[in-house]
Amino acid sequence: MQFIDLEAQYLHLKEKIDARIHKVLDHGQYIMGPEVKELEEKLAEYVGVKHAITCANGTDALTLAMMVLGIKKGDAVFCPTFTFFATAETIAYEEATPVFVDSDESTFNICPIDLEKRIQKVIAEGKLTPKAIISVDLFGLPANYPELERIAKKYDLKLIEDAAQGFGGTLNGQVAGSFGDIATTSFFPAKPLGCYGDGGAIFTNNDEYAALLRSYCVHGKGTDKYDNVRIGMNSRLDTIQAAILLEKLAEFPQELIARQKVADKYEAELKGQFETPQVPDGYTSSWAQYTVCCDNRELEMQKYQEKGIPTMVYYRTCMHQQTAFTYLGYTSKDFPIAEYLAKRVFSLPMHPYLK
């Protein structure tokens, strides 16, 4: 059994994906070919925003968002501690300070109550300038954006949605990737919508942000590509990956239905045995992971291993516990819910082709 069965997905879409790849090989426009523009248009339509700008990977997508918002040294950017390293890494890369926030125990996402306390503390200390919030749609479930948007507006902060895991999820009918001032996603192969390499995208309704993003992605180019008007980076989605994603995106709605059926089956079988993931009213999850909580995690994972069923832990170490962020001076008492989750969660196989 595969934890995520990309081979089964490929076999299902093989004829269409192969045809797309061969079309790129025929026209030879491997960088910024027509499939890239086509994908951006279809991504924007799917998410429901004006602009979708593709890039080289999900980490670059977050970095580009930081650049567009002018995040810099002396700024505080608030983000969850229970998430993947890239969320905080991109903040530090801009020489800003990540301010970690505890988790909501039931959804695992950033806790709005703790977030507001952290913002108030930074303001009271007066050492950093509160600038932005990065929220992560963990394991497929969008965060509590009504509350996050209220808080962002109250304290005049920009809101960035990291929808890499939540892509395909919804909140009150609004699709992940459409929340906040800017949203990002990753097309890493294991994501709900993934390519066969690295890839990413940024979403926004802001015309100015979109223009800046397109410039920053290609070395800060101006209207003349040989006149670079700002310092940018080299972050473009390969045409072949765009071609693959076009076929995967077309199949994506059906895959989300299949993922939900797997999650429903897990819930029916495992409720009472573990703390199973709950989806609040008004939400849908894209089920990037099916993550349960329990005591004696290692023992339970061993039982699955003995049956040939792979399991994974996301995430065993919180951001505030990472060696790279020890300089921030957090202690084990600062994030009780996140540390509680990190000691108890593990994930079971989840993909649309799970029998």
The DSSP secondary structure of 123-190, one letter per residue, reads HHH-SSEEEEEEEE-GGG----HHHHHHHHHHTT-EEEEE-TTTTT-EETTEETTSSSSEEEEE--TT
Residue 138 counted as domain residue: yes
Task: Please check the confidence at residue 140 and state whether its pLDDT lies above 80.
Answer: yes
Residue 25 counted as domain residue: yes
Angle, CA 184 vertex, CA 33 and CA 3 arms, to 5°: 90
pLDDT by residue (tens digit) across 38-85?
Answer: 999 999 999 999 999 999 999 999 999 999 999 999 999 999 999 999
Q: Does residue 95 share a domain with residue 137?
A: yes
Read off the tokens for 181: 């001032």
- Cα distances from 310 to residues 3, 181, 182, 256, in angstroms, run 6, 38, 35, 22
pTM score > 0.85 for this model? yes
Average pLDDT over residues 301-314: 97
Question: How confident is the model at residue 227, as a pLDDT?
Answer: 87
CATH number for the domain that contains residue 270? 3.90.1150.10
Instruction: Among 209, 231, 248, give the residue marking a domain's end.
Output: 248
Q: Does residue 265 share a domain with residue 207?
A: no
Name the residue type at position 212: L
Task: Please check the confidence at residue 136 and state whether its pLDDT lies above 90.
Answer: yes
Instruction: Identify the domain containing residue 267 by its residue range.
Output: 252-348
Residue 1 counted as domain residue: no
Question: How confident is the model at residue 34, as a pLDDT?
Answer: 98
Question: How confident is the model at residue 224, as a pLDDT?
Answer: 79
Instruction: Among 200, 223, 248, give the residue marking a domain's end.
Output: 248
Question: How confident is the model at residue 352, as a pLDDT?
Answer: 96
Name the residue type at position 59: T
Task: Please check the confidence at residue 332 and state whether its pLDDT lies above 90.
Answer: no
Q: Across all residues in the chain, what is the average pLDDT?
A: 97
Query: Could you tell me the sign of the dihedral formed by the alpha carbons of 198, 92, 144, 268, in that order?
Result: positive
pLDDT by residue (tens digit) across 210-243?
Answer: 999 999 999 999 987 788 899 999 999 999 999 9
Question: How confident is the model at residue 234, as a pLDDT?
Answer: 96
Q: Does residue 78 share a domain with residue 214?
A: yes
Percent of the chain with pLDDT over 90: 97
Instruction: Among 248, 273, 296, give the residue marking a domain's end.
Output: 248
Q: Does residue 331 share a domain with residue 238?
A: no
Residue 355 counted as domain residue: no
Helices marked H in the chain — which ranges?
A: 6-27, 34-47, 58-68, 86-93, 112-125, 145-154, 207-217, 239-270, 297-306, 336-344
Q: Does residue 261 share a domain with residue 208?
A: no
State how many domains the chain has.
2
Q: Does residue 304 share a domain with residue 240?
A: no
Range scoring the smallest mean pLDDT among 196-200, 220-224, 254-258: 220-224
Q: Does residue 336 share a domain with residue 317?
A: yes
Rounded Cα–Cα distance for residues 99 and 89 (Å): 12
Question: How confident is the model at residue 355, as a pLDDT?
Answer: 87
Q: Does residue 305 share a domain with residue 288?
A: yes
